[in-house]
Amino acid sequence: MQKKESVLQVIKETVRKHGVLSAALFGIVCGAVVFTLLPPLVLAQLIDLLTNKHTLWMEGILLYFGLLALTGLLESARESLLTVFGQRITHALRSSLMEKFGRLSANELNRQEPGALVSRFVGDVDTVENLFTSGIISMFADACKILSILVAIWVTNRGLTIVLIVLLPVLFLFTRYVQKNMLASQIANRRAVSRASGHVPETLHNIRTIHCLQKETYMEQQYARYIDDSYSAMEKTNFYDAVYSPVILILNAIVVAVVMLLSASENPTVLKLFGMSAGTAVAVINYISQIFTPVESLGMEIQTIQSAFAGMERINEFYSLKEKKEPAALTANTDYGMAAELKNVTFGYDESQVILNDVSLQIKKGERVTLSGRTGAGKSTIFKLLLGLYEPQKGKVLIWGVPSVDLPDAKKRKVFGYVEQSFHMVPGSVKDQITLYDAKISDTDVKKAAELTGLAKTIEALPDQYDTICTQDLFSQGQWQLLSIARAAAAEPEILLLDEITANLDAETEKMVLNALQRVSKNRTVISISHRTMAETGRVIPIS
């Protein structure tokens, strides 16, 4: 059964796991809202006292500054807690994405585009983090702030409340218009950046081919196009960004000016609505600038939330990718006479294609066979089926009588030694190449495997011997191939799968590799793939 996962679930789990943090965050967010309202009220009282020629009330001044300090403290505590909380979410999301990655089926892994996958882990997770650091929680705080400021203004100046109730929706719509356009360009930018970031590793990966075919200019132009796309999208974002703030500032100034003018009016009706004391005027100016900031942030927060939702959708898409079948954890009984069996197997990587059609073959324990056939016939595909990476659409693939997909991954290295046509280096030392970080394979096993393949002397001549860090040019192709055999042999597997391992070697090296194989193959079942049939390769099974 595929484990059901979604961004929302990961978030819920994180909130539950860090209950104290979540509760503290909620408390501080609410506290910060209440406390921002208080300083202007105290200030209004103080100024009214002054203008009415009363002496200043010392505790009042202290209270005002104390409240200002407390508001600042609460806001900075809110920001710090939000950052910590956001990081917890990011951590949980990235870990669960990596876990999912490990559970993906071979077919899904094949289909993933590296650039897009990287942006799931990096960019999209970041947008979800922003959802908390500068999205949903700040939005809640800002909405509360706007409401409470409106209430506070209503108490002191009814006229201004009416002006604000009319003005705020217009301001909000303008903000949304600007931000929607910004979002569109940001998405275009992210797409271009993802293509550009995928372009570099792809170029690097194919660098030899690119040099040989002299396609450097083409690759450069392609890259330049991606960057140009990104720049033009960024320019649009910058334009809206540059226009927005001055408009808001001017509007803020106009509202303050109009309210001040109206409060000085001689018309009794106007005065009834807008009249106020000097202290209240200061408080009102304070509130007006306080109410503009959350409206502006509200738009930004909606945008953050939107892009977080887009990010969440892409992450959820990743979560819904097909996982490999949970192995039934069957243990192969090596006393069973048949090492490997294909029973009427029909298989294609996609439902629409058929690569193997009703193929049956049997390989006895201890037997040596060679699969031979034209290129593209499906020989390597048979290996992938034997390794349990794919499940056939029809028929059965059995290893020691057990379906290959039901063998647990942890046991597979004891069952199979798989030598591919080319060596896949893992980051690390020569020893790591052989052990594949498996602590169960001891240094003695590593040495034994190296000696068996005739590679021990070459390795011992290296500066740090088995601990020498591997680079692509540390060994020749033949030596890499020997290392590949050492890697397969180190875990002492029952079955050796050898895919065209001598195809790219000269006659001398081929002889060396074949000799190594002779030694490694003793008492094992050996299945090779070869275009050429050789005396030592045993029974030949044609694949067509």
- Residues of the shown chain interacting with ligand ATP in the complex, contacts defined by CB under 6 A: 110, 349, 355, 373, 375-381
CA distance linking residue 232 with residue 227, whole number of Å: 9
Q: Are 409 and 102 in contact (CB under 8 A)?
A: no
By CB under 5 A, is residue 422 in contact with Mg ion?
no
- Which entry of Mg ion, ligand ATP, none binds 465, CB below 5 to 8 A by partner kind? none
Residue number with CB closer to Mg ion (19 or 376): 376
CB of 365 to Mg ion, least distance (A): 25
Q: How far is the CB of 530 from ligand ATP (least distance, A)?
A: 9
Q: How far apart are CA 174 and CA 276, in angstroms?
A: 30
As a whole number of angstroms, the distance between CA 54 and CA 48 comes to 9
Q: List 417's β-bridge partners, or say none.
A: 496
Q: Which is nearer to Mg ion, 217 or 544 (CB)?
A: 544
Please choose which of Mg ion, ligand ATP, none residue 209 contacts, taking the beta carbon within 5 to 8 angstroms, the exact cut-off set by kind.
none
Residue whose CB is less far from ligand ATP, 135 or 378: 378
Residue 487: is it exposed, middle or buried by C-beta count within 10 angstroms (0-12/13-18/19+)? Answer: buried
Residue 469 neighbours by CB under 8 Å, 6+ apart:
428, 429
Closer to Mg ion at the Cβ: 39 or 388?
388
Q: Are 176 and 318 in contact (CB under 8 A)?
A: no
Are the beta carbons of 287 and 149 closer than 8 angstroms?
A: yes
Q: How many chain residues are in contact with Mg ion, going by CB under 5 A?
A: 1
What is the closest distance, in whole angstroms, from the C-beta atom of residue 544 to Mg ion in the complex? Answer: 14
- Which span sits near Mg ion by CB under 5 A: 344-352, 373-381, 391-399, 510-518? 373-381
Q: Is 380 among the residues that bind Mg ion (CB under 5 A)?
A: yes
60 touches, from ligand ATP, Mg ion, none (C-beta below 5 to 8 Å by class): none
Q: How far apart are CA 424 and CA 415, in angstroms?
A: 20
Query: What is the number of the residue whose Cβ is closest to Mg ion?
Result: 380
Q: Which does residue 395 bind out of Mg ion, ligand ATP, none, counting CB within 5 to 8 angstroms by kind?
A: none
CA-angle at 328, arms to 523 and 326, nearest 5° = 115
CB of 531 to ligand ATP, least distance (A): 7
Tokens of 415: 């069952």
The nearer residue to ligand ATP, 332 or 369, going by C-beta atoms, is 369
Among 440, 509, 448, 442, residue whose Cα is nearest residue 481: 509
Q: 497 is in the binding site of which of Mg ion, ligand ATP, none (Cβ under 5 to 8 A by kind)?
A: none
Indicate the residue among 96 and 381 with the shorter CB distance to ligand ATP: 381
How many Cα atoms are found within 13 Å in the side-chain-facing hemisphere of 519? 18
Min separation Cβ 382 and Mg ion, Å: 9
Say which residues have a Cβ less than 8 Å from residue 331's Cβ, sequence separation at least 6.
402, 411
Are the beta carbons of 400 and 339 closer than 8 angstroms?
yes
Determine the Cα–Cα distance for residues 482 and 505; give it in Å rounded to an integer: 11
Complex with ligand ATP: residue 239 or 349, whichever CB lies closer: 349
| 295 membership: H or E segment, kind and range | helix 278-319
- For residue 62, give Cα distances in angstroms to 29, 58, 59, 482: 24, 6, 5, 81
Q: Considering the complex, what minimum distance in angstroms separates the CB of residue 469 from ligand ATP?
A: 31
| CB closer to ligand ATP, 376 vs 463 | 376
Q: Is 408 exposed, middle or buried (0-12, 13-18, 19+ CB in 10 A)?
A: middle
Q: Name the segment binding Mg ion (CB under 5 A); options: 134-142, 192-200, 210-218, 377-385.
A: 377-385
The nearest distance, CB 356 to ligand ATP, in angstroms, is 8
110 binds, among ligand ATP, Mg ion, none (CB under 5 to 8 A by kind): ligand ATP
The amino acid occupying position 165 is I
Residue 417 CB, shortest distance to Mg ion, in Å, is 17
376 binds, among Mg ion, ligand ATP, none (CB under 5 to 8 A by kind): ligand ATP
Distance from CA of residue 290 to its chain's centroid? 37
- Closer to ligand ATP by Cβ: residue 269 or 544: 544
Candidates 421, 425, 427, 486; CA nearest to 459 is 486
Report what 14 binds from ligand ATP, Mg ion, none; CB cut-off 5-8 Å by kind: none
Least distance between ligand ATP and beta carbon 72 (Å): 59
Closer residue to ligand ATP in complex, CB, 371/455:
371
Question: How near is the Cβ of 347 to ligand ATP at its closest, in Å?
Answer: 9
Residues that bind Mg ion (CB under 5 A): 380
